[in-house]
Structure 1
Amino acid sequence: MLIRQAFLGCVAALASISAMPAIAKPVIDCPLRDMPFSTATPLIDILRSPAARSVVDKVVPGRIDTLPPFFTGTTPPSFSAILSLREAVGMLQIKPDKVAAIEAELRALPLTDAEKAARCARYDNDVPTFALPAGRPRLLLFEKINGFRDGPSVDAARKALLGMAKRMGWSMVVTDKGGAFNPGTLRTFDAVIWNNVSGDVLTLSQRKALQAYLARGGGFVGMHGTAGDPVYFWDWYADRLIGARFKGHPSNPQFQEARIAVNKAHPLASALPAEWRMTDEWYSFGTNPRAAGADVLLTLDESSYKLADGLRMGDHPLAWTNCIGKGRIFYSAIGHLPESYSQAQHVSLLESAIGWAANRNAPCRAKG
C-alpha cells in the first residue's frame, strides 16, 4: 500500500509539473543586442555597463550624476530607456570635442555576452494564454512599458476601455507581455490597442509578427504616450506606423485647455461635433503625419493655448488614421490626464476609432 501511494504521488507530481506553463527561454533576438556601444546607445545600457559608464565618467567626470534621478533609473520602466546617450549629453551641454572622445572610446569597447543579455532582459517572449470573453470584435489591450509609465493615465485608460468593451459587446483582454505578438496569438484578434506604451518593447520576431498582422488586415489603435518617446529605436514604428515623431509638450503649464477642430469630412467624424475644448497635455511633433499618408481627423488650434515657438507646427494634427497593407491604423495624442477618459467627446472618438480599426471590412483611405 505504501509503495502504491508513493507511486501515485509521483505520478501526481509529474502531472502537475507537465501542466505548468513552459518556462520562457531567455530572449536573444532583442533589436539592439549586438549594436556596438556609441552615443546612440540607449542611456539605460550605458548606465548598466560598468565599462561604458566608466568611459563617460573618464571624459566628463561626474556629469552623468548631474542628470535628474528621473532620467537615470536602470530598472524598466525608466526614462533612461527612451533616451540615447546622445540626448543625455545634449541636455548636459557637453562640448563637441568631448562628445567625439566619448564616441570613439565607446566604439572601441568589446561587447560582452553579459551586456548582450542585459540589453535583452527588458524584452520577453512569454506567450500568454487568454480566456476570451464572448463578443466581437476581439481586442488585445497591450500595456508593456519599458520607458515612461504614467500609472494614473494607463490605469484610467484600461478602466475606460474595459467598460467600453462591456457596453459595446466587444471581447477585450489585457496583457503586458510582448510574447503575445506572435502569428498564432495575433490571429485571434481583430485589433490591438497600445495603451500609452513607451519604450522599445518588441523583439525582432515580435516586430515582424506585428507588421505581418497589419499587412493581412489587423487593426492598430495607439493612445497618447504610444507616440510620446523622445527617441525611438525602431524607425518603422515611428515613421510608418505612427507616422510622426514626438517633439515635446508645454511644461509651464503642462496641462491646458485648448480648442480641437474636427475634420467633418473624415469617416470617423460623424459622432463628433465640429469642435470642442478640453484640458490635457498637448503633444507637438517634429514630423507631420500627413507626410506619411495620414488622413487627419483632429487638429489643435495653437492660438487657443500657450506653447513655445519651438513647439509650434502651424498645421497641428492631433488624431489621424492611416493604412498599412490591409490594416487600419488609428492614433490619438489625447489621453494624459485620467479624466480625459471620461470626457464625452474623447470617449466617442475612441469608440468610433476602435470599432473602425477592428472592422476588417471597413474601408481605409490614405492621403498622398
Structure 2
Amino acid sequence: MKTFAGLVLAAAMVAGVAQPATARPVTDCPLRDAPFSVDSPLVDIMLSSAAKAVLEKAAPGRFSKLPPRFAGTTPPTFAAILSLREGGAMTGIKAEALPAIDAELQKLPVTAADKVARCARYDNDVPRFDLPKGKPRLLLFEKINGFRDGPSVDAARAALTAMAERKGWALVVTDKGGAFNPATLRQFDAVIWNNISGDVLTLSQRRAFQTWIEKGGAYVGMHGSAGDFIYFWDWYADRLLGARFIGHPMAPQFQDARVVVEAPDHPAARGLPREWTMNDEWYSFRTNPRTIGATVIATLDESSYKPVGMMNQNLRMGDDHPIAWTNCVGRGRMFYSAIGHRPETYSEPHHVALLEAAIDWAAISGKQACAARR
C-alpha cells in the first residue's frame, strides 16, 4: 500500500511541481483530506480545476475577474483566509445559493494532486540559529500565507530589532513553519507572531507549538495575527487568542481613537499613561477574551471613533472593547495587541512602550505567572 508521501511525489511529477532534492515533502497539512465545500479556503478551490468548474457554473465569469490578491493561488493571498461562505458576497453569490454549490463541491473526489497542492503552502524547513547564552531568546515568526501588509510587517520587525538591541534580547527572525518543532522551540523564551495571516503550521508543528506553550512557553501576537475572518485551528483562535475577528472600520479605515489602560498594575502596562489617543485600524471581535479568563490590558473608547465596517457593518462591542490582553494557557502565557496596522504605530511611543513591557513580561518577568497552572 502506497504511503501518502509516495503519492505526494508521484502527484508532484504529474502536476509539474518541482521537489528540491533536499526538501522533505509536507504530508500533514491540516486540510489535506478535507472534502471540498463552501467552508474550504478559497485557495484550495482555486487550485482544483474541477472545483473551479463548479464555481464557474454557479457564477459565470465572476471568479476570473477577481483581483489576483483575492483569488491568487500563490501565498500570500486573500484566498487563504476567505471561504465561499465568508467571501461569497464579493462575487455576487447569494447565501441561498450556497447549499447547492456546497452539494456539488462535496461530490468531488480529493485527489493526490489536490493534496499536494493544498500542502504546498506549508514547509518542513528547520532553520538553524546561533543563539548567545545569558540573554532572553526571542523568535520573531513571519510566515504569512494570507494577507501580508509589507509595510507593517517591516516596521514591526525594525521596531523589535531596535528594542532587542536596547534591552539586550537575542532576537532572531524566520519565515519557516519548520521552526515549530520541540527541539527548536526549547531554545526560546517567547515566540512573537508578526502580523501572521493564513494557516501556516502543519499538524505536527501545531502540536509542538501547543505543547510548548502549555508547558511554559510564551506567545506574543501582533495586530494581523488575530485579523483573519476564518481560522482552521480552533485552539489558536479560541484558546490561545481567545477572540475571533469580525472586522475593522472602513469609513474611514484609519481613525484616531482613545486607548484606555484597564490594568495599570500589570507588568505589561508598565510606564503607560492611563489613556492616550492614536491613529490606527481598529479591530472588533465576536467575543470578549475576558470570557475565558484573560486580563485586559487596554480597551478602546468607542465614543472616540466610528466603529462602522464594510457595508455599514456594526462593529460595536460596547463599553468593554478589548484591544490588548494577556492570559495563561496551561503553564504558558500569551499577550496580544490588536494595534499595529499602520507602520507609524511602531514608532508611536505608547505603543512601543506597551510592546516592550509585554514582551519583557512574556519572556522574562512573567515566567512564574502561570507556572502553577495545569
Provide the TM-score with structure 2 as the length reference. 0.89
Instruction: State the partner residue of 1:304.
Output: 304
Asked if 1:324 corresponds to 2:323, the answer is no
Asked if 1:363 corresponds to 2:369, the answer is yes
Instruction: State the partner residue of 1:176.
Output: 175
Instruction: State the partner residue of 2:285.
Output: 285
Instruction: State the partner residue of 1:215.
Output: 214
Instruction: State the partner residue of 2:356.
Output: 351
The CA deviation string for residues 73-95 of structure 1, in whole angstroms up to 9 with x for no partner, is: 11100001001122222433424
**Residues 92, 196 of structure 1: alpha-carbon distance in 2 compared, 3 angstrom cutoff:** same
Instruction: State the partner residue of 1:252.
Output: 251
Asked whether the 8 Å contact 1:122–1:146 carries over to 2, the reply is yes
Asked whether the 8 Å contact 1:34–1:116 carries over to 2, the reply is yes
Asked if 1:268 corresponds to 2:268, the answer is yes
Instruction: State the partner residue of 1:4.
Output: none
Structure 2 residues without counterparts, runs of 5 or longer: 1-19
Instruction: State the partner residue of 1:37.
Output: 36
Name the CA distance, whole Å, in 2 between partners of 1:137 and 1:351: 13
Query: SS of the residue aligned with 2:211?
Result: helix
Structure 1 residues without counterparts, runs of 5 or longer: 1-20
**Residues 96, 170 of structure 1: alpha-carbon distance in 2 compared, 3 angstrom cutoff:** closer
Q: How far apart are 1:135 and its partner, in Å?
A: 4.9
Query: SS of the residue aligned with 1:100?
Result: helix
Q: Choose from 319, 333, 338 the match for 1:333.
A: 338
Instruction: State the partner residue of 1:186.
Output: 185
The one-letter code of the counterpart of 1:305 is Y
Name the CA distance, whole Å, in 2 between partners of 1:32 and 1:230: 17
Name the CA distance, whole Å, in 2 between partners of 1:26 and 1:365: 37
Q: How far apart are 1:98 and its partner, in Å?
A: 2.7
Identity of matched residues, %: 68
Q: How far apart are 1:261 and its partner, in Å?
A: 0.3
Q: Report how many residues are paired.
A: 346
Q: How far apart are 1:134 and its partner, in Å?
A: 5.3
The CA deviation string for residues 127-172 of structure 1, in whole angstroms up to 9 with x for no partner, is: 0001224552100000000000000000010011011101100011
The CA deviation string for residues 220-251 of structure 1, in whole angstroms up to 9 with x for no partner, is: 00000000011111111111111111111111
Asked whether the 8 Å contact 1:59–1:101 carries over to 2, the reply is no
Name the CA distance, whole Å, in 1 between partners of 2:68 and 2:172: 35
**Residues 168, 135 of structure 1: alpha-carbon distance in 2 compared, 3 angstrom cutoff:** farther
Name the CA distance, whole Å, in 1 between partners of 2:290 and 2:21: 45
Asked whether the 8 Å contact 2:267–2:357 carries over to 1, the reply is no
Instruction: State the partner residue of 2:201.
Output: 202
Instruction: State the partner residue of 1:84.
Output: 83
RMSD: 1.8
Name the CA distance, whole Å, in 2 between partners of 1:126 and 1:138: 20
> What are the residue-to-residue correspondences of 1:78-117 with 2, within 5 Å?
78-117=77-116
The one-letter code of the counterpart of 1:303 is S
Provide the TM-score with structure 1 as the length reference. 0.90
Instruction: State the partner residue of 1:7.
Output: none
Moved more, 142-151 or 66-75: 66-75
**Residues 22, 363 of structure 1: alpha-carbon distance in 2 compared, 3 angstrom cutoff:** farther
Name the CA distance, whole Å, in 1 between partners of 2:331 and 2:348: 31
Q: How far apart are 1:65 and its partner, in Å?
A: 3.3
Q: Which has the larger radius of gyration?
A: 1
Instruction: State the partner residue of 1:226.
Output: 225
Asked if 1:129 corresponds to 2:128, the answer is yes
Name the CA distance, whole Å, in 1 between partners of 2:66 and 2:303: 34
